[in-house]
Chain A
Amino acid sequence: MAMLSRAASSAARRPLLPPPRLLAVRAMASSLFGHVEPAPKDPILGVTEAFLADPSSDKVNVGVGAYRDDNGQPVVLSCVREAERRIAGNLNMEYLPMGGSVKMIEESLKLAYGEDSDFIKDKRIAAVQALSGTGACRLFADFQKRFLPDSQIYIPTPTWSNHHNIWRDAQVPQKTFTYYHPESRGLDFSGLMNEIKNAPDGSFFLLHACAHNPTGVDPTEEQWREISHQFKVKKHFPFFDMAYQGFASGDPERDAKAIRIFLEDGHQIGCAQSYAKNMGLYGQRAGCLSILCEDEMQAVAVKSQLQQIARPMYSNPPVHGALVVSIILSDPELKSLWLKEVKGMADRIIGMRKALKENLEKLGSPLSWDHITNQIGMFCYSGMTPEQVDRLTNEYHIYMTRNGRISMAGVTTGNVGYLANAIHEVTKPN
């Protein structure tokens, strides 16, 4: 009875987690973790694993979530190499403050909010360094749970799969809202606006600032203005996940336009920044979480509480990636080089989108492929069905997730023709 009572109590405290398996534990008393089930395979990881196991010389990996050059190789930016050269042998490895590198935060806020932002001057932004974009989202989700415990998070359909995991583990209730329009492979703007209007006042919305993952579909500037206006009417709170600033279009200012529109309209916002893609710092885990507050006093309070969430999670954030970011963004020459290099990456992806569409059209595909070039960023939601994707894999050794998402980073001038031909073969009417 006591055991059951404790189990019930535990379940109540953490309702989203499965209660202890008491019978299984008793049956397997010799092994404390014998009852632990294998976790389901990560689908994206599975794609890459299958790709690596394929012996075919024709194989193409368009499941990968990281940038590749035109030879299909990972890239380390020159500005990053130079920043690292300046770090090695010259700096110590002391703990950063709980909130992270002050310099990196300063430069990150300028990048997101604007070089001459009044919000920065007025010290209205509470910001902490985070473990890339994921860490920023998780800190915000935990913050939301702790300080706005009755709030929910509205998450677009579809979205990056980890978003659901993050807010679930933070125990914030989730709702979804309409975003992608499968029939047109674009934005379901009227559906989106209806959801914003129908959500209770003061709701929390997760918005991708640019280069929506996994669809590549973004609102236009005019649409963002209408969204911002409707948010104002409803007093909703926008939390922007900005993982691709600069990497999406090649212009960091243009990619931050949605955020700037909301700021011009007087919203308070949250923002998760990642330097994984736009600086190629993937494994160095450099990111920033910022929350625009009402005034400096509130920003100080919010930041202090964010630090209290980070401390029992990892104490303080990793120093190396933060140093790289702050050196690049604060040195005019390196920043100029970075802007050139990030544009180079964006341009290559845009070029591959054009090439893929042109190849498909040359092959006489009767379908419309305008969405390939209308979409933006690393990913293209092709519209192919899971069965078509399976055929691509089995017959042509082309690897992507079954939702039809193509990572444009995996497309090269060397394989785009082959890819187009395969897509045409599996999509053409019989």
Chain B
Amino acid sequence: MAPANVRAAQAQAPSADRRLSTLVGHLLPSSPRRAAADTSATSTLESFPTMASQGSSVFAALEQAPEDPILGVTVAYNKDPSPVKVNLGVGAYRTEEGKPLVLNVVRRAEQMLINNPSRVKEYLPITGLAEFNKLSAKLIFGADSPAIQENRVATVQCLSGTGSLRVGGEFLARHYHERTIYIPQPTWGNHPKVFTLSGLNVRSYRYYDPATCSLHFEGLLEDLGSAPSGSIVLLHACAHNPTGVDPTIEQWEQIRQLMRSKSLLPFFDSAYQGFASGSLDKDAQSVRMFVADGGELLMAQSYAKNMGLYGERVGALSIVCKSADVAVRVESQLKLVIRPMYSNPPLHGASIVATILRDSEMFNEWTLELKAMADRIINMRQQLFNALKSRGTPGDWSHIIKQIGMFTFTGLNSEQVAFMRQEYHIYMTSDGRISMAGLSMRTVPHLADAIHAAVTQLK
């Protein structure tokens, strides 16, 4: 008899796939619905080629956009009056007390900047703060990286990870010979929209195996192996969102060999360096393997999680090229993508990061605070696993401690999630994703009770 959560997880996969397909279909220009809408709009306006609207209002025909599902979780949580409610939908780190955390080293850096009367608010270059760019490339690739030593890296500051992905996507749509990007299934909900609006065609490759709540490695190799030569492949560098499932080093090596032999272009999304395992170098290992072979790649970095700079919007896009000359030309074209988007990036957060990364004492303090965040999350995983085990909850829950980073794909199905919300005031997205950051020692027993009840009562 297969464990209950395994059957539940199996039911989850088609639903997730349908959601992604629906989203992609909705956004693609070839979507029949959009095509029909375009035709309708054209016929309506054909008498007046540039007339915005024949109604009294320019925007009368505009419909309200669908509610963001993750935001909906938090909205519902906020409305719930229960004293035992738990928000596991939140996408940001929380302390044991459930509070946002500003790292001490960040406070210090910010205070230094604000107390410095010689600092001004001048425009940054289009590419951002030069020192921040250099330090960011070193952080992810390693100071001794040959790509950096040989000046083969073009790095531009962007608005956190999302902005980096978008700038990279638009650059590829203009200057790369292939227009198709493969994204893992599932992936972060914003990825399909970012790349579709960049002008790329979005396809997917198998990644997560609901049957085992782990990596579908054979499926991944098959799908990438059959991708057309030159396709772009989005890879989560570590702490995959939303599943928490990462390849092992041995698996990464096989992925690298396959991709290089098939001339597939890696586009790494690194939103959790240091935050995943507590070690900056370990979390960057997958990326560095690809850089070490001398090949090309794109790299999107975010400092939202690992420095807690969420709202400051700090990120960087690096493109590793074949030569220094190509890198210079690439950077010049990146400027033409960025200038019409927002002219130049925000100053404050990048200055904080540069202040910390350049000072060895502050850098060390940062690594300690970073490890503490990672350790707390790892501890929550262990505690949740232990609590389920002690309750004798049916099923194999080892994936909770095998998965890494902020998120866990529990394997719970949407009915179980709804049950837990209704009966135990546990809030998570309907795909069964838990933000481990929302857990604390105080709330683990309650969550374990809820999972146990859901699994045993809703077989």
Contact = CB atoms under 8 A, between A and B. Distances in A.
Interface residues of B, number: 91
B330 to A, nearest CB: 5
Interface string B4-15: 000000000000
B314 to A, nearest CB: 9
Nearest to A154: B50
B124 interface: yes
A201 interface: yes
Given A147-B59, A202-B53, A88 B166 contact: no
Interface stretch (A281-289, A357-365, A416-424): A281-289
B346 A93 contact: no
Contacts of B323: 31
Given A33-B296, A37-B329, A305-B65, A96 B341 contact: no
A228 interface: no
A134 B121 contact: no
B197 interface: yes
Given A32-B296, A33-B330, A148-B58, A200 B51 contact: yes
B313 A316 contact: yes
B312 interface: yes
Interface string A84-101: 110111001111101000
B412 interface: no
Interface residues of A, number: 92
Interface stretch (A14-22, A103-111, A112-120, A394-402): A14-22
A237 B52 contact: yes
Interface stretch (A318-326, A336-344, A370-378): A318-326
A202 B48 contact: yes
A98 B45 CA distance: 32
A88 B119 CA distance: 15
B166 A313 contact: yes
B111 A17 contact: no
Contacts of B304: 95
Given A25-B177, A284-B346, A149 B312 contact: no
B123 A294 contact: no
Contacts of B179: 6, 10, 20
B111 A88 contact: yes
B326 A33 contact: yes
Interface stretch (B79-87, B99-107, B213-221, B370-378): B99-107
A313 B38 contact: no
Contacts of B196: 312
Given A31-B321, A93-B310, A22 B177 contact: yes
Interface string B304-341: 10001111110000010111001011101101110111
Interface stretch (B155-163, B393-401, B428-436): B155-163
B123 to A, nearest CB: 5
Nearest to A202: B51
Interface in A25-65: 25, 30-39, 42, 65
B59 A314 contact: no
A138 B163 CA distance: 14
Interface in B115-146: 119-124
Given A89-B107, A200-B49, A31 B322 contact: yes
Contact of B326 (A14, A31, A39, A66): A31
Given A17-B173, A31-B323, A76-B120, A285 B346 contact: yes
A95 B56 CA distance: 37
Given A138-B342, A314-B162, A318-B311, A93 B102 contact: yes
Contacts of B38: 149
B62 interface: yes
B345 interface: yes
Contact of B110 (A17, A88, A135, A317): A88
Contact of B193 (A89, A132, A294, A311): A311
A66 B163 contact: no
Given A25-B177, A92-B102, A94-B311, A285 B59 contact: no
Given A134-B339, A312-B196, A319-B312, 9 more contacts: A10-B179, A37-B333, A42-B335, A66-B122, A204-B50, A300-B64, A311-B193, A318-B346, A318-B348
Interface of B: 29, 38, 41-42, 45, 48-53, 56-65, 68, 91-92, 100-102, 106-107, 110-111, 114, 119-124, 158-163, 166, 173-179, 190, 193-194, 196-197, 199, 265, 296, 304, 308-313, 319, 321-323, 326, 328-330, 332-333, 335-337, 339-349
23 contacts: A10-B179, A20-B177, A36-B175, A42-B335, A74-B121, A75-B120, A88-B110, A88-B114, A93-B308, A131-B342, A148-B53, A165-B340, A237-B52, A281-B121, A283-B121, A283-B124, A283-B346, A283-B347, A294-B56, A301-B59, A315-B313, A318-B159, A321-B348
9 residue pairs, one from A and one from B, having the closest CB atoms: A319-B311, A283-B347, A314-B159, A202-B51, A131-B342, A320-B348, A165-B340, A39-B332, A134-B343
